[in-house]
Structure 1
């Protein structure tokens, strides 16, 4: 029996084939059958999905919708001389987890995965990092988990902040980094914009960027050591990495724009104080255009409005502050401050 022809014949009638199916039909050993699969992969006729006995094979060039999913690829990595690009290349080569994914989604996945893994490598102080890439019928995503200092705790310590919530607030601005000589602070910011959903779990908090509903949430979770980052995007997403970069860049193609949701800074009162205004605006002098999103904010105090729209703006006249989603109460207070 010609094993090679049998494999190709089965793939003309079904989306994928496993070695076990061929072994059952032919009675040959797994090692013997795998020789034919390896040869067909080397010749570029087949793609391999998965590892070891769970591997599936599909015809090269077969469209994504015909690829049998889900695929889950897991790696435990020693955090020593680790390179994020090498890790991704190895996973793509061996597991083919991104095979057939549209180019725009592939680029987004590659950017997000390498940025988040690099953060864990260089900031977590964790000896081991776990990564998972998940391929589903309608989506693709990954998880990066470490058992280090924790991202929010690291920001809190380095920026000398009072607590985890202030660290989250600082992170949300973008262009914030605990290692300014090595990093621009753009990785998490842009990753949060290109995901369908990005979650960051650390220090008893879960920060959720949900671009499907267009909102950001913070939830309490059971405290655990380290940080877990989860990313997902639909395989039919029309999102484009370069367009996202452009949306937050000026004419010189630098990262010059940011958007801050004021509601996230309302910790204990309906009114947002002058001190909270200072906390919000801290670090935003790095940008040329700042959008303040007041969605969900019922009103603001006079001190807050004065601090942002008169004091801070006077000290940074070259920076544009663009308030959005204000109700009548907030609009009245901001206009009053701007006219003084």
Structure 2
């Protein structure tokens, strides 16, 4: 009996996890996955409908299924305000999340309070809107302010030519416009903890998907004011805050000492990474880390000058930093090898 009950729970969990991607053929997909009958799968679906976990529209063979929102909520905060991120978490968000695994609640506690605090202290906004939606599969929280815009603020602080360059600095980590009050770690670690983490600000859209190798930076349509941060996390995941922190720590020194830099954020559109100036843009603030991993996912080629600046000139100037490259195609690997050979002539 226990095995039958466990299998039923597994089937329903699979339906919940996959119904969004298979709204019209979830029955077929589930039958194929578990080798059970359509009748058995339909019984599980009906149970989920009765529990309010999924919805059903259409008739007979034209039925379409989807996740039902278990909770929807939003609240506007006037700024400046006496509200703190911990107060907003304790009074507003935590009760909405309800009973969840401790590791999931810890991720939400970290991510929400970091992003909410960032909006309170750095956005110069007059209004802050928080929206919340929870389904049986995942939870999504959006924090939207009408302030100066995070990328524009970083652009001004570093004197960058383009606000898109600010995304690269966030992706490296350890950047803050207020170093006396913040470590610059909050947004970086938040972006690595969630299944999906996006920032829309000004004319730039940045997205980090936990399951994808590449971060995405896109030119948004129009030019939005303020900053909108959206975080989504499955309600059941084995991920923990500790696992994410450990990934960017080295040795016994439990600190933010390692960074994985998505090199593709240095290029825009069809730009080729060929110049020393592009390499120097990539290398800004890299000296604050002990281990630097350059991730070349999405980069098919680099120029000789670019490779030389990163893997010979900078590496020679900073021998204390361990520099490695991952996801390198044949052309990229060849240029890196060439630069390193020139640094160590026979």
Asked if 1 retains the 8 angstrom alpha-carbon contact of 2:142 and 2:228, the reply is yes
In 2, the alpha carbon distance for the partners of 1:128 and 1:152 equals 18
TM-score if structure 2 supplies the norm length? Answer: 0.76
1:64–1:256 CA distance, 2 compared to 1 (3 A): farther
In the TM superposition, 1:183-194 aligns within 5 A as 183-194=182-193
Gaps of 5+ in 1: 1-62
Greater Cα offset, 257-266 or 109-118: 257-266
1:126–1:213 CA distance, 2 compared to 1 (3 A): same
State whether structure 2 residue 224 is matched by structure 1 residue 224: yes
Q: Deviations over 1:308-334 (max 9, x none)?
A: 111111111111111011112111111
In 2, the alpha carbon distance for the partners of 1:294 and 1:113 equals 30
In 2, the alpha carbon distance for the partners of 1:207 and 1:259 equals 16
State whether structure 2 residue 244 is matched by structure 1 residue 248: no
1:226–1:83 CA distance, 2 compared to 1 (3 A): same
> What SS is found at the alignment partner of 1:205?
strand
| Structure 1 counterpart of 2:329 | 327
Gaps of 5+ in 2: 1-50, 55-67
Moved over 6 A (4+): 63-66
Matching residue within 299, 304, 307 for 2:306: 304
| Structure 2 counterpart of 1:60 | none
| Structure 2 counterpart of 1:171 | 170
In 1, the alpha carbon distance for the partners of 2:326 and 2:136 equals 37
> What SS is found at the alignment partner of 1:175?
coil
In the TM superposition, 1:239-318 aligns within 5 A as 239-250=239-250, 251-267=252-268, 268-318=270-320
In 2, the alpha carbon distance for the partners of 1:178 and 1:228 equals 18
TM-score if structure 1 supplies the norm length? Answer: 0.77
1:192–1:64 CA distance, 2 compared to 1 (3 A): farther
Q: Post-superposition shift, 1:138? A: 0.4
| Structure 2 counterpart of 1:71 | 71
1:92–1:293 CA distance, 2 compared to 1 (3 A): closer
In 1, the alpha carbon distance for the partners of 2:187 and 2:73 equals 23
Aligned length: 275
Q: Post-superposition shift, 1:92? A: 4.2
Q: Post-superposition shift, 1:269? A: 2.8
Q: Post-superposition shift, 1:297? A: 1.6
In 1, the alpha carbon distance for the partners of 2:84 and 2:337 equals 50
In 1, the alpha carbon distance for the partners of 2:316 and 2:206 equals 33
Asked if 2 retains the 8 angstrom alpha-carbon contact of 1:270 and 1:298, the reply is no
1:86–1:150 CA distance, 2 compared to 1 (3 A): same
Asked if 1 retains the 8 angstrom alpha-carbon contact of 2:214 and 2:262, the reply is no
In 1, the alpha carbon distance for the partners of 2:193 and 2:213 equals 12
In 1, the alpha carbon distance for the partners of 2:309 and 2:113 equals 39
In 2, the alpha carbon distance for the partners of 1:197 and 1:309 equals 32
Q: Post-superposition shift, 1:65? A: 7.7
In 1, the alpha carbon distance for the partners of 2:205 and 2:132 equals 20
In 2, the alpha carbon distance for the partners of 1:160 and 1:323 equals 28
> What SS is found at the alignment partner of 1:106?
helix
Q: Post-superposition shift, 1:200? A: 0.2
In 2, the alpha carbon distance for the partners of 1:253 and 1:207 equals 28
Q: Post-superposition shift, 1:134? A: 1.8
